[in-house]
């Protein structure tokens, strides 16, 4: 969509926006606050962001230091204590049908899910940024070729490609990270390319070129910095996506292989024993849901924080209330 | 004195936001008589556009509420009307011309359809009849080959052309009052003149009243019968074009006049420039709302707010030192006669 | 507009060509190579001939590729390794089943999402809007298959309201009522998945449009609110929604494939996973290609729809962005 040019009217209504007025008021008294600081303040004051950050932190800490929270081994089979209910003999969430401690499996499985999530997001963002940067900066046929590659990758349903590669080359942890990264860089690439296409015609980039700054340092110094904010938002959301895809693949039995475990693999197991041990299916799914939800909260809050347009969130009911109290106008 | 068609009395409005009500207008009073062109002049942020949206009651859709005051249209208070009643007035009796013609037109409908729509809504015309009338109207606003143009989409036209379409759309039902919100701001200078000419032509032909909103004193000089100067949500001075240009009584008006580029050469000594920026209504200064930017400000200005007082017949200013300011302005020879050319 | 569509069609063919190259390359990298994929093991005359032709895989890659492509274009998808069955024979029946599941869920979620999104955009942060926001967050964050498992556990096993899995009950093959009965749970899962993004996008694009100047113009004309929303705003809001529908197709297919596995639905997705374990590469290739064809055709349809809704496309202004 084309950007509407700033009109006087927009400025006028913008002045009515309370948050913006705060800024201008501060601007006149104190030195102007930097955009980053404003974004940070906005982010921190968002309850969803805080909620997401806390939940995610709890999960990361518990999974990273799993041995501190449980003395059970995730793969230790104990047929004597199979399918015991929560609380028995220190089994916080009970055991599964072959006596493995569910809580321990959740913590160690979470390790795999989280590592896959973060690694894939990181690789996908690096790869996407690189490809998008090259396409956007050089334009022309380079752009043309790379964008067709994006089209191609986007037209193969990712799950199929993932399963295909995993079945061709055998399942494995690192192969999974690789193939997940290779199938999720396209969004970032498009984003970076778009930003670059806009920016490369800008005067300061032209000027840098004119004084002989190398392509590489123009890309890294001038352009990527400008695209950082949206890339970070995208990276955050990628973590959630990767965790979901990993869980799906492991659920299908093509991802993580026993004795290693992950939340998805636990669900695969749980479906078989739905009748005898229904709660076993609930825990891992809940973990995935909570982690991905908190990551999405963080991502969305980041996006809102970076977006300079402050949205006025006000419900119709509240509007009505105010209107009834103060307004003299008819409805 | 002719019959007033629109009379805004002490209008105070605001917007509902997360943190409560933010004031937008702080006591606006304007009167427009039949066939008159009244210009509302001021910097951006002074509340001109909000005033126009309030008259149309379109601000309701952006969370706007009226806190106090009346908007009398033929003696009927528009503030008290329901949106359904307002709907019947909008477009047929009061029409609006917006500032960005390219954005004001819906990109997915042909311009002919968009003009015809107004007719069909208010006059209940058949599709064919409305289309024919739309083409006629396009011809009237000076669009060549109107039959072909009517079937085109807004993106196939230039900015000036689009503004002609918007004007056609506004005038097609022959409204009694047209509110034009910065109708030329987004256009090239040459096109601006054409559009203003067209507006004046149509105004004299159809005898509509116009409330013209602009930040450009030059435009006001060219178009207006009366000028109301607006600052931070209120009117600070009002008078005929000649009065405003020859004897401004408010320091802010003088500042605005000085900002007209054409006047610069003849100005001689520099009186002053308006320093600083317009305050928001949430944190207005004490006393006169203009005093932090005013070169004449005294302790009295800082302490008490002057009200808009009659200083002649139909001539009002909100300044404690209106007379002194007017004299001083004359002495300095800063202000030249009306742009309308006597 | 025609020019724009022709350009898009050419692009689509190019994309499909590249997908086939990638498929071929992957297949070639697989242990055993394409020979195993393409030929029945047994001794039909034709097979032996072909085997000789490809003996030792000494032909240069491009020639091999062209040969494979030729077979593909003639509808020969290859043979399964195990029983030497033509791939088409086991593939085609599953395609219909997948389309039933996916189609019902897709149409249903559009029918819910677009009107609801529009409604929410006119009453932001109200009860209905908040419910839909919660739903959208859940849909985005919840593993679809987990939701499926939960439904099975509580609605099928515990309450026995719905069948646990499969497409038909025993002895009821082809019974429409029974089919609908079996459809409910998997469709619920898919609808939640699709709904999440559709709700979000329809609300967002409608909100964006409702703040446009031309909407204010329409109100200033005295158009009734219904007219403003359904005539002036909706048509513009549809433009980005159509784009998203096109872009979302691969996720649609992936989501359907997963759900099929949870509910043992005899579709392409289940077949794919089954064949992945059996290492039946020919079937995997065929389904991957088919998936790509589906996505590309879907995108092309979206482009056509786009061109119909947005008159600006005629000038090719929007043609720059690839689907």
Task: Provide, rounded to the nearest whole percent, the portion of chain A with pLDDT above 90.
Answer: 15
Residue B22: beta bridge partners?
B15
Q: What is the pLDDT of residue C204?
A: 87
Q: What is the pLDDT of residue A127?
A: 93
The mean of the pLDDT values for chain B is 85
Q: How far apart are CA B236 and CA B242, in angstroms?
A: 17
Res. C277: pLDDT tops 60? yes
Please name which of B237, B206, B232 lies closest in space to residue B308, comparing C-alpha atoms.
Answer: B237
The residues, any chain, with a CB within 8 Å of residue A262's CB and separated by 6 or more, are: A109, A110, A112, A113, A116, A246, A247, A250, A255, A256
Contact A160 C291 (CB under 8 A): yes
Spell out which residues of chain B touch residue C216, defining contact as CB-CB under 8 Å.
58, 61, 98, 104
Distance of CA B92 to the CA centre of its chain: 19
Cβ–Cβ < 8 Å for B226, B238: yes
Rg (CA), chain A: 25
* Statement: the pTM of the whole predicted model exceeds 0.90: no
Contact B65 A15 (CB under 8 A): no
Q: What is the pLDDT of residues A96-130, one digit of tens each?
A: 777 778 888 888 888 888 999 999 999 999 999 99
Max CA pair span of chain C: 79
Greater pLDDT, C126 or A82: C126
Cα C304 to Cα A236, B151, C196, C245: the distances in Å are 34, 22, 25, 13
- Which H or E run includes A261? none
The alpha-helical segments, DSSP class H, found in chain B are: 48-55, 83-89, 101-104, 111-123, 127-140, 146-149, 159-171, 189-206, 217-223, 241-246, 251-258, 299-303, 322-332
Checking DSSP bridges between strand B37-41 and strand B226-231, what pairing results, if any?
parallel
Give the closest of B80, B83, B186 to A7, CB-based.
B186
Q: What is the pLDDT of residue A11?
A: 31
Q: What is the mean pLDDT of residues B232-250?
A: 88
**Band (A48; pLDDT cuts 50, 70, 90):** confident
Spell out which residues of chain B touch residue A318, defining contact as CB-CB under 8 Å.
16
| Chain B contact for A8 (CB, 8 A cutoff) | yes
Greater pLDDT, B43 or A276: B43
| Chain B contact for A12 (CB, 8 A cutoff) | yes
Q: What is the pLDDT of residues C81-140, one digit of tens each?
A: 777 788 888 888 889 889 999 999 999 999 999 999 988 888 878 888 889 889 989 988
Q: What is the pLDDT of residue C315?
A: 46
Q: Which long-range contacts (CB under 8 A, 24 or more apart) does B323-328 make?
A: B323/B249, B324/B296, B325/B248, B325/B249, B325/B250, B325/B251, B325/B254, B325/B296, B326/B247, B326/B248, B326/B249, B328/B296
The alpha-helical segments, DSSP class H, found in A211-278 are: 215-217, 224-252, 263-272
Please name which of B59, B54, B46 lies closest in space to residue B73, comparing C-alpha atoms.
Answer: B54
Q: Which residue has the tokens 């990273």?
A: A64
The mean of the pLDDT values for chain A is 77
Task: Provide, rounded to the nearest whole percent, the portion of chain B with pLDDT above 90.
Answer: 32
Give the closest of B47, B66, B100 to A329, CB-based.
B66
| Chain A contact for C281 (CB, 8 A cutoff) | yes
Q: What is the pLDDT of residue B305?
A: 86
Res. B1: pLDDT tops 70? no
What ipTM did this prediction achieve?
0.86
Rg (CA), chain C: 24
Select the CATH number that applies to the domain covering C89-309 from these four: 1.10.510.10, 1.10.3720.10, 3.30.2130.30, 3.40.50.300. Answer: 1.10.3720.10
C neighbours by CB contacts (3+ pairs under 8 Å)? A, B
Greater pLDDT, B140 or C40: B140
Give the closest of C219, C309, C315 to B61, CB-based.
C219
Res. B26: pLDDT tops 80? yes
**A212 backbone φψ class: left, alpha, beta (φ>0; ψ -120 to 50):** left
Q: What is the mean pLDDT of residues B41-66?
A: 88
Max CA pair span of chain A: 77
For B93, the 3-state DSSP assignment is coil
Q: What is the pLDDT of residues C199-251, one digit of tens each?
A: 888 888 898 898 889 999 999 999 998 899 988 999 899 888 888 888 888 88
Please name which of B233, B270, B235 lies closest in space to residue B254, comparing C-alpha atoms.
Answer: B270
Stated length of chain B: 342
**Residue B5 is encoded by which pair of tokens?**
């068609």
Q: What is the pLDDT of residue C46?
A: 59
Q: How far apart are CA B333 and CA A57, in angstroms?
A: 71
Contact B67 A327 (CB under 8 A): yes
Following DSSP, what letter does each residue of A48-100 receive, concatenated?
A: HHHHHHHHHHHHHHHHHTHHHH--S-TT---GGGTTPPTTGGG-TT-B-TT--
Q: What is the pLDDT of residue C6?
A: 86
Spell out which residues of chain B touch residue C310, defining contact as CB-CB under 8 Å.
107-108
Q: Which residue has the tokens 């942890």?
A: A173
Residue A44: beta bridge partners?
none
Q: How far apart are CA A103 and CA A72, in angstroms?
A: 9
Cβ–Cβ < 8 Å for C154, A260: no
Name the least confident of A14-28, A32-46, C92-106. Answer: A14-28
Q: What is the pLDDT of residues C26-52, one digit of tens each?
A: 877 766 554 554 554 555 555 555 554
Spell out which residues of chain B touch residue A13, defining contact as CB-CB under 8 Å.
49-50, 62
Give the closest of A151, A240, A278 to C141, CB-based.
A240
Q: How many Cα neighbours within 13 Å face the side chain of C245?
A: 23
Res. B271: pLDDT tops 60? no
Q: What is the pLDDT of residue C109?
A: 92
Following DSSP, what letter does each residue of B29-71 receive, concatenated?
A: EEEEETT-EEEEE--TTSSHHHHHHHHTT-GGGGTEEEEEEEE
For A192, the 3-state DSSP assignment is helix
Q: In C, residues 157-176, which contact A (CB 8 Å cutoff)? A: 157-158
**Band (B314; pLDDT cuts 50, 70, 90):** confident
Q: How far apart are CA C252 and CA C231, in angstroms?
A: 29
Contact C213 B108 (CB under 8 A): no
Q: What is the pLDDT of residues A6-17, one digit of tens each?
A: 333 333 333 333
Spell out which residues of chain C touch residue A165, defining contact as CB-CB under 8 Å.
26
Q: What is the mean pLDDT of residues A62-67?
A: 82
**Band (B105; pLDDT cuts 50, 70, 90):** very high
Q: How far apart are CA B102 and CA B92, in angstroms?
A: 22
Q: For the sheet containing B76-77, what is the strand order?
A: B20-33, B4-17, B64-73, B76-77
Greater pLDDT, B135 or A260: B135
| Chain A contact for C137 (CB, 8 A cutoff) | yes
Q: What is the pLDDT of residue C104?
A: 93
Contact B121 C214 (CB under 8 A): no
Spell out which residues of chain C touch residue B58, defining contact as CB-CB under 8 Å.
216, 219-220
Contact B182 A18 (CB under 8 A): no
Q: What is the pLDDT of residue A314?
A: 63
Q: What is the pLDDT of residues C58-83, one digit of tens each?
A: 566 777 778 778 877 887 777 777 77
Q: What is the pLDDT of residue B2?
A: 67
Contact C222 B121 (CB under 8 A): yes
Q: What is the pLDDT of residue C31?
A: 61
**Residue A226 is encoded by which pair of tokens?**
């400008």
Cβ–Cβ < 8 Å for A289, A37: no
Annotated domain spans of chain C? 2-73, 89-309
**Residue B124 is encoded by which pair of tokens?**
């209940």
Q: How far apart are CA C186 and CA A156, in angstroms?
A: 23
Dihedral sign, Cα of residue B231, residue B236, residue B241, residue B244:
negative
Following DSSP, what letter does each residue of C79-120 receive, concatenated?
A: B-TTT--BHHHHHHHHHHHHHHHHHHHHHHHHHHHHHHHHHH
Res. B245: pLDDT tops 90? no
Res. A24: pLDDT tops 70? no
**Residue C298 is encoded by which pair of tokens?**
């879907």
**Residue A66 main-chain phi, psi, to 5 deg:** -50, -45
Name the least confident of B41-55, B58-72, C67-81, C176-190. Answer: C67-81
Q: How far apart are CA A6 and CA A18, in angstroms?
A: 19
Q: What is the pLDDT of residue C110?
A: 92
Res. B183: pLDDT tops 60? yes
CA distance B156 to chain C (A): 9
Q: Between chain A and chain C, how many beta carbons pairs sit less than 8 Å apart?
A: 166
């Amino acid at each position: 969509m084309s950007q509407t040019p700033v009109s006087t009217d927009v400025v006028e209504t913008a002045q009515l926006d309370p948050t913006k007025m705060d800024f201008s008021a501060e601007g006149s008294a104190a030195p102007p606050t930097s955009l980053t600081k404003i974004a940070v303040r906005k982010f921190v004051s968002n309850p969803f962001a805080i909620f997401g950050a806390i939940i995610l932190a709890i999960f990361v800490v518990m999974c990273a230091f799993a041995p501190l929270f449980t003395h059970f081994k995730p793969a230790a089979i104990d047929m004597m204590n199979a399918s015991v209910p929560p609380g028995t003999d220190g089994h916080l969430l009970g055991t599964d049908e072959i006596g493995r401690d569910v809580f321990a499996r959740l913590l160690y499985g979470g390790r795999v899910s989280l590592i896959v999530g973060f690694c894939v997001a990181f690789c996908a963002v690096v790869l996407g940024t690189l490809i998008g940067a090259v396409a956007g900066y050089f334009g022309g046929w380079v752009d043309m070729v790379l964008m067709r590659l994006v089209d191609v990758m986007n037209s193969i349903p990712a799950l199929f490609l993932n399963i295909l590669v995993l079945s061709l080359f055998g399942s494995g942890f690192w192969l999974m990270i690789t193939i997940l990264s290779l199938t999720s860089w396209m969004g970032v690439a498009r984003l970076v390319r778009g930003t670059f296409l806009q920016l490369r015609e800008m005067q300061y980039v032209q000027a840098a070129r004119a004084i002989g700054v190398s392509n590489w340092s123009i890309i890294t110094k001038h352009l990527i910095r400008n695209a950082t904010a949206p890339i970070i938002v995208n990276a955050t959301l990628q973590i959630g996506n990767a965790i979901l895809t990993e869980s799906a693949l492991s659920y299908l039995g093509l991802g993580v292989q026993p004795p290693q475990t992950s939340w998805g693999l636990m669900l695969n197991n749980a479906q078989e024993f739905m009748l005898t041990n229904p709660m076993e299916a609930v825990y891992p799914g809940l973990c995935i849901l909570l982690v991905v939800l908190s990551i999405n909260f963080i991502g969305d809050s980041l996006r809102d924080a970076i977006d300079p347009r402050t949205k006025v969130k006000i419900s119709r009911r509240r509007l009505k209330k105010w209107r009834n109290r103060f307004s003299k106008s008819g409805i | 004195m002719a019959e007033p068609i629109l009379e805004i009395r002490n209008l105070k409005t605001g917007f509902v936001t997360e943190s409560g009500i933010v004031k937008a207008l702080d006591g606006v009073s304007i009167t427009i008589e039949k066939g008159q062109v009244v210009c509302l002049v001021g910097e951006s942020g002074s509340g001109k556009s909000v005033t126009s949206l309030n008259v149309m009651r379109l601000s309701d859709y952006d969370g706007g509420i009226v806190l106090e005051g009346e908007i009398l249209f033929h003696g009927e208070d528009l503030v008290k009307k329901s949106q359904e009643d307002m709907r019947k007035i909008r477009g047929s009796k009061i029409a609006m011309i917006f500032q960005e013609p390219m954005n004001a037109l819906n990109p997915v409908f042909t311009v002919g359809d968009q003009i015809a729509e107004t007719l069909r809504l208010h006059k209940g015309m058949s599709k064919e009849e409305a289309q024919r009338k739309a083409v006629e109207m396009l011809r009237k606003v000076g669009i060549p080959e109107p039959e072909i143009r009517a079937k085109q989409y807004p993106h196939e036209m230039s900015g000036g052309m689009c503004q002609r379409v918007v004007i056609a759309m506004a005038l097609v039902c022959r409204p009694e009052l047209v509110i034009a919100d910065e109708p030329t701001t987004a256009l090239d200078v040459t096109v601006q003149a054409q559009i203003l000419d067209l507006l004046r032509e149509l105004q004299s032909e159809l005898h509509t009243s116009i409330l013209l909103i602009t930040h450009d004193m030059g435009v006001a000089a060219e178009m207006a019968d009366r000028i109301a100067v607006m600052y931070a949500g209120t009117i600070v001075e009002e008078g005929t074009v000649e009065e405003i240009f020859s004897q401004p009584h408010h320091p802010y008006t003088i500042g605005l006049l000085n900002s007209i580029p054409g006047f610069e050469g003849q100005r001689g000594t520099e009186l002053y420039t308006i320093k600083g920026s317009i305050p928001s209504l949430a944190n207005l200064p004490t006393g006169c709302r203009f005093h932090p930017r005013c070169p004449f400000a005294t302790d009295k200005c800082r302490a008490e707010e002057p009200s808009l007082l009659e200083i002649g017949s139909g001539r009002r200013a909100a300044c404690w030192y209106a007379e002194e300011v007017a004299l001083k302005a004359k002495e300095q020879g800063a202000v030249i006669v009306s742009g309308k050319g006597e | 507009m025609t020019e724009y569509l022709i350009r898009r069609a050419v692009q689509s063919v190019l994309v499909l060509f590249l997908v086939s190259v990638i498929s071929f390359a992957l297949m070639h990298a697989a242990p055993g190579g394409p020979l195993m994929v393409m030929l029945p093991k047994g001794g039909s005359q034709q097979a032996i001939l072909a085997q000789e032709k490809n003996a030792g895989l000494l032909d240069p890659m491009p020639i091999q590729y062209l040969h494979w492509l030729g077979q593909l274009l003639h509808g020969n998808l290859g043979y399964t390794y195990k029983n030497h069955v033509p791939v088409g024979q086991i593939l085609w029946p599953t395609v219909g089943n997948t389309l039933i599941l996916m189609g019902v869920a897709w149409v249903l979620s559009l029918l819910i999402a677009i009107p609801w999104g529009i409604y929410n955009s006119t009453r932001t942060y109200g009860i209905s809007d908040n419910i839909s926001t919660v739903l959208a967050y859940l849909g985005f964050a919840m593993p679809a298959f987990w939701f499926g498992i939960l439904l099975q556990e509580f609605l099928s096993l515990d309450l026995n309201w719905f069948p646990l899995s499969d497409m038909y009950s025993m002895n009821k093959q082809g019974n429409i009522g029974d089919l609908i009965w079996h459809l409910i749970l998997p469709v619920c899962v898919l609808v939640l998945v699709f709904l999440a993004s559709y709700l979000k996008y329809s609300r967002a694009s409608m909100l964006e449009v409702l703040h446009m100047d031309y909407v204010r113009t329409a109100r200033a004309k005295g158009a009734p609110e219904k007219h403003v929303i359904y005539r002036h705003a909706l048509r513009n809001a549809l433009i980005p929604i159509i784009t998203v529908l096109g872009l979302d197709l691969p996720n649609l297919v992936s989501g359907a494939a997963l759900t099929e596995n949870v509910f043992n639905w005899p579709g392409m997705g289940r077949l794919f996973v089954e064949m992945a374990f059996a290492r039946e590469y020919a079937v995997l290739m065929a389904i991957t290609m088919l998936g790509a064809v589906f996505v590309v055709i879907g995108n092309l349809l979206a482009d056509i729809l786009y061109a119909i809704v947005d008159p600006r496309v005629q000038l090719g202004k929007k043609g720059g962005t690839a689907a």
